[in-house]
Amino acid sequence: MDTPPNRPHPLRFWILWGWDGLITLVILYFFFIGVIDRSVSSFNIALWLAILSVLGAVMGGSLWLRASGQRKLAAVLLWLLAAPGILFCLFFLILLISNPRWN
């Protein structure tokens, strides 16, 4: 399956989308745990709704952009969520490998 030189490979999109989906599932997990233990309340529900709306916009918007032929813009949208997630995982990997002394 050859792709023209200007278009990103479709597998790259789905890898990014899967990574963002994993990040979304982790955030949804914490949201539902917070609903169960009542730490998500009327005090912070606006923040949670904003976070969940942004996640929905990234996940759904990237699919919509890809379907409308805007593959590069869809990839850029996915990278907005993927880059902080990758940096977060790298930070914890460095912490696990280096075993720093915190005292």
pLDDT digits (tens, 9 = 90+) for 48-103: 999 999 999 999 999 999 999 999 999 999 999 999 999 999 999 999 999 888 87
Class of residue 41 by CB neighbours under 10 A (exposed 0-12, middle 13-18, buried 19+): exposed
Provide the CB-side half-sphere exposure for 24 (13 A, CA). 18
pLDDT for position 99:
87
For 10, 72, 81, 85, 88, the CA distances from 100, given in Å and listed in that order, are: 40, 40, 28, 22, 17
What is the domain extent for residue 86?
10-98
CA-based torsion, 36, 85, 74, 11: positive or negative = negative
- Asked whether residue 2 is assigned to any structural domain, the reply reads no
Domains in the chain, number: 1
Number of Cβ within 10 Å of residue 64's Cβ equals 13
Q: In this structure, is residue 65 part of a structural domain? A: yes
The pTM for the full model equals: 0.83
- Does the pLDDT at position 5 exceed 80? no
- In a domain, residue 1? The reply is no
